[in-house]
Chain A
Amino acid sequence: MITVKDLHKSFGELEVLKGIDAQIKEQEVVCVIGPSGSGKSTFLRCLNLLEDVTSGEIEIDGQQLTDPRIDINEVRSQVGMVFQHFNLFPHKTVLENITLGPIKVKGVSEGEAKEIGQSLLKKVGLADKENAYPDSLSGGQKQRVAIARSLAMDPKVMLFDEPTSALDPELVGDVLEVMKDLAQEGMTMVVVTHEMGFAKEVGDRVFFMDEGVIMEEGDPVQIFDNPQNPRTQSFLSKILS
């Protein structure tokens, strides 16, 4: 589904990604962990071309993202992204946040988009909030709307960048629950998260990133309980202590 070959990304002089190779299969859930500044967000943002790639190849569902002839907007509409700080559109209602993409990007009719939006809101447990504005929602509710907004584009892959780390602890569960449902329905997901419980329960594989490369990858239980790389060991001992 996703193939990344020797991906490099620099910001000016600073090389942030130093050669990433990865294969992600359809319906797989990959969790990405690693210290701050290791390039996790940058990696994710390269996967939907929010950052332009310095060198290397990314292929998603048979499309070469690094091919200059590619329609970037088309790619982005097929790769959903959920942000740490939700980034909902504050001037639009919950439902409008969700229907904007289908209407403007896919040319879906307003009535149809509304139906899609309402059924997605039901799915994330917020059917009663369609006319609310984002500012009136809790963080957990906002993030669930953001997930619904991405899903409305019917993406092939969903990327999550620390979706629960801006939330109060008691609101994390609802969001993880929605993500778990999504995984069970067979969505291909790449999730930057330090929620170990989620990674172990839902994740098929974990990537440990450090200094711009994937230092270690493997089964979640193995990575968390029995890491091989000394860097992984020291990172985990820090976040678990």
Chain B
Amino acid sequence: MIENFLDSAYVKSLPYLWEGIQLTLYITIVGLLLGFILGAITGLGRLSKVAIFRGISTVYVEVVRGTPILAQVLFIYYGLTAVNIGELTAAIIAIMMNAGAYIAEIVRGAVYSIDKGQHEAGRAIGLTERQTMRYIVWPQAFKRMIPPLGNQFIISLKDTSLFSVIAVGEVLYMAKQYYNTTFEIFETLIMVCIFYLLITIPTSIILRRVERKLDV
């Protein structure tokens, strides 16, 4: 019984999957960090008084949100043949671009939700626009961003599984490689799902706690 188990894909796929897991987490985290920067810039861009900045940001957000991520991935990897980037770079860019658009909306909503009086009070004591954003509006808005950003982390983590179509060695791709030789499809995929759930469920629980604590 135990020997059977130790000899099955539940255990023997683990070294393969572990490699994929590392890559999955790497793509998610790097992609999201870059996506946060892009999202913060374009989210504030959508609130900007400068029409061109607002226009570019809006087009970007609408295009990304209006198209399927799989199409975006294929476009970045195969479509942009002129730049010829590697598959890992393509994957990170895809997460950055995709999450960036959703984060832009998170940032915009959070900043917009801060009472206008906060901004005015900052300006009234003589802070510049920049200082008002930095010391008054942004810290309050950032608190409200935490729950939706956590949610975006879960979404982007799962989205990385799409990169198996461009042969990025993330966890689902590694799983396929494994079961293509052993045919233990069920067992391998169970392990993949367990991996995702081990990350997503605790994240959800933490988020709910944070949400309650922040009272937002």
B125 contact set on A, CB distance < 8 A: 76-77, 80, 100-101, 105, 149-150, 152-153
Contact (Cβ within 8 A) A101 B126:
yes
Given contacts A83-B121, A100-B135, contact A90 B126 (CB under 8 A): no
Contact (Cβ within 8 A) B126 A87:
no
Contact (Cβ within 8 A) B121 A87:
yes
Complex CA–CA separation, A88 to B115 (angstroms): 11
B138-159 CB mask vs A (1 if < 8 Å, else 0) is: 0110010000000000000000
B118 contact set on A, CB distance < 8 A: 87, 89
A80-96 CB mask vs B (1 if < 8 Å, else 0) is: 11010101111100000
Given contacts A90-B140, A104-B131, contact A76 B117 (CB under 8 A): no
Complex CA–CA separation, A46 to B131 (angstroms): 21
Contact (Cβ within 8 A) B124 A104:
no
The yes or no answer to A73 lying at the interface (CB within 8 A) is yes
The yes or no answer to B47 lying at the interface (CB within 8 A) is no
Given contacts A85-B117, A104-B131, contact A91 B126 (CB under 8 A): no
The DSSP consensus for interface residues of chain B is: helix
A89 contact set on B, CB distance < 8 A: 118, 121-122, 136, 140
The yes or no answer to B127 lying at the interface (CB within 8 A) is yes
Contact (Cβ within 8 A) B140 A104:
no
Complex CA–CA separation, A83 to B125 (angstroms): 12
Contact (Cβ within 8 A) A87 B117:
yes
B7 contact set on A, CB distance < 8 A: none
Contact (Cβ within 8 A) A73 B126:
yes
Contact (Cβ within 8 A) A104 B121:
no
Could you tell me the distance in whole angstroms from the C-beta of A60 to the nearest C-beta in chain B?
A: 14
Instruction: Return the contact of A105 from the options B117, B127, B139, B140 (Cβ within 8 A).
Output: B127
A15-58 CB mask vs B (1 if < 8 Å, else 0) is: 00000000000000000000000000000000010100000000
Interface residues on chain B, size class: 10 to 19
Could you tell me the distance in whole angstroms from the C-beta of A133 to the nearest C-beta in chain B?
A: 13
The yes or no answer to A74 lying at the interface (CB within 8 A) is yes
The yes or no answer to B176 lying at the interface (CB within 8 A) is no
Could you tell me the distance in whole angstroms from the C-beta of A93 to the nearest C-beta in chain B?
A: 13
Could you tell me the distance in whole angstroms from the C-beta of B133 to the nearest C-beta in chain A?
A: 12
- Closest B residue to A79 by beta carbon equals B124
Interface core residue of A80, A83, A89, A152 (most chain B CB under 10 Å): A89
Contact (Cβ within 8 A) B127 A73:
yes
A90 contact set on B, CB distance < 8 A: 140
Could you tell me the distance in whole angstroms from the C-beta of A114 to the nearest C-beta in chain B?
A: 16
Given contacts A73-B128, A104-B131, contact A87 B115 (CB under 8 A): yes
- Closest B residue to A100 by beta carbon equals B135
Could you tell me the distance in whole angstroms from the C-beta of A39 to the nearest C-beta in chain B?
A: 17
Complex CA–CA separation, A90 to B118 (angstroms): 9
A91 contact set on B, CB distance < 8 A: 139-140, 143
Complex CA–CA separation, A105 to B139 (angstroms): 19
CB neighbors of B among A6-21 (8 A): none
Given contacts A89-B136, A91-B140, A100-B135, contact A74 B126 (CB under 8 A): yes
Could you tell me the distance in whole angstroms from the C-beta of A148 to the nearest C-beta in chain B?
A: 11
Interface core residue of A87, A88, A146, A149 (most chain B CB under 10 Å): A87
Q: Which 10 A-B pairs have the closest CB atoms?
A: A77-B126, A101-B125, A87-B121, A87-B117, A105-B126, A81-B124, A76-B126, A73-B126, A91-B139, A91-B140
Binding site for B on A (CB under 8 A): 48, 50, 73-74, 76-78, 80-81, 83, 85, 87-91, 100-101, 104-105, 146, 149-150, 152-153
Give me 24 A-to-B residue pairs in the complex whose CB atoms sit less than 8 angstroms apart, sorted by A's number: A48-B124, A50-B120, A50-B124, A73-B123, A73-B128, A76-B123, A76-B125, A77-B125, A78-B126, A81-B121, A81-B124, A83-B121, A87-B115, A87-B118, A88-B121, A89-B121, A91-B139, A91-B140, A100-B135, A101-B127, A104-B127, A104-B131, A105-B127, A153-B126
